[in-house]
Structure 1
């Protein structure tokens, strides 16, 4: 019998904690300290150091700061603290989020969307959720619900997505999108629905707070097509895979994805050139 999904999530959390414990152990060894010496510098018991190093006790943010300070490795503390915080939530399985239906998944990011000022979105597979029409979203979410066997609440999920996407019309927020040309060509819905979706995309490009770049098939590129990801300000990344949505908060991880977005953005065409690609995609639907 396959393991229960919750045990799968639990094992991932444990592996993340073990990785963090291993990093702290290496920092101590690199500093040439014994567990007892580190404990003395931190002002706690030697057994506490042992429990943290063996992933039996999750350290607090203050514990990590004290550990790194005692080892002269203060610069490593921010990444380790971020890793510690995300160990229980960083790799949230889509199935667990979706088991009560897709509407809940759409609403789960509402606060994050309202709090973020700058969105950087790269997509290689589908039209970004922010830019979807109700018809396109309905076709896409229906296929997801069918594939995953989740409760059929597609109409409610689409309505939730449309409400969530109202943030696009808030002039105080900036949106930068980079799409692979393939996104314009994939047939995930009827030709009529796709034509309406591409027309909606053209309209969104007129918004003052929205920038859309498209990487052409024929572009000589410095980086390869990547899985879809979104960077929220400079503090959080959502990176999607088939089985999971990874939430990344370590400063080095966010910087990596921000750098990837910049490289991908450099390969994109904009303005008249991007509109021409969309027009060609519309023409191919006939």
Structure 2
């Protein structure tokens, strides 16, 4: 399946075309032979393979049947449908400021029964205090040259976090121990944030696991991602957000999350790691 090195949605469409071409070549079919099996003109095969024509669901299914790869059809159809939405540059979603981006995600969080997230560098958004969120979003706005609505964005992020307390959702979060020591904000803010992690661990809907830095790795370090039930994954890159809806790729993230969860510690052992991080900073003011 494709990697996440797309520079645009067109690159995602080209990836679909490349996979279809690989299926044809793997089946040892010429363009004409595939066109004959599918009941269309050879020129259509050429346009699809060069990404000049976006194949319909029926086109993809017919192509896979002709190549005796029926098992690939559903994933390719799902990937083709999501090509235009899967890679969205941050500069597009954030050009009107960060507050609207926080608010835009609320409906998705509210309709998701099981939210799972893995964070390797910062505290998960759903567990951020407003002061921590403000400091983090200030870094983001400065780096990307965005409009200054950080205060409103931080408040919106915290408001979105009500899903961890409203009793209608299950939230499972995994963070690397290094997150506890990242100096995103001044020590008093960081200490208060770490103390809130301890509090959040008592919420009935929340499961927080921390991966000790000393834990033997069963998977290499990967990007931050959030899973919404078993149907959608948001992957955060430096330049863009990638939305994954292809069932086969969603399954990869499920497997990755399961492996990371086996490295994590929970309950008293997790609290001990948080306490150690708090002790390294001192008490909040």
Within 5 Å, which residues of 2 pair with 1:234-245?
234-245=230-241
Q: 2:40 aligns with which of 39, 44, 47?
A: 44
SS at match of 1:56: coil
Q: CA RMSD in A?
A: 1.9
Within 5 Å, which residues of 2 pair with 1:159-238?
159-238=155-234
Q: 1:264 aligns with which of 260, 268, 276?
A: 260
Task: Count the aligned residue pairs.
Answer: 278
Instruction: Output one character per residue of 1:164-210: Cα deviation in whole Å (capped at 9) or x when no partner.
Output: 21122232321111111111111111222112211211111111121
Matching of residue 128 in structure 1 with residue 124 in structure 2: yes
Asked if the contact 1:35–1:49 (Cα under 8 Å) also holds between the matched residues in 2, the reply is yes
SS at match of 1:89: helix
SS at match of 2:167: coil
Partner residue in 2 for 1:145: 141
Question: Partners in 2 of 1:213 and 1:116 — Cα distance?
Answer: 20
Question: Partners in 2 of 1:11 and 1:182 — Cα distance?
Answer: 30
With over 3 angstroms needed to count, the CA separation of the structure-2 counterparts of 1:11 and 1:136, relative to structure 1, is closer
Q: 1:24 aligns with which of 16, 20, 45?
A: 20
Question: Partners in 2 of 1:222 and 1:56 — Cα distance?
Answer: 42
With over 3 angstroms needed to count, the CA separation of the structure-2 counterparts of 1:61 and 1:115, relative to structure 1, is farther
Structure 1 portions without partners, runs of 5+: 1-8
Asked if the contact 1:180–1:225 (Cα under 8 Å) also holds between the matched residues in 2, the reply is no
Question: Partners in 1 of 2:229 and 2:216 — Cα distance?
Answer: 29
Instruction: Output one character per residue of 1:100-143: Cα deviation in whole Å (capped at 9) or x when no partner.
Output: 11112212222221222111111111110000111111111111
Instruction: Output one character per residue of 1:144-178: Cα deviation in whole Å (capped at 9) or x when no partner.
Output: 11111100011221122122211222323211111
Q: 2:73 aligns with which of 59, 70, 77?
A: 77
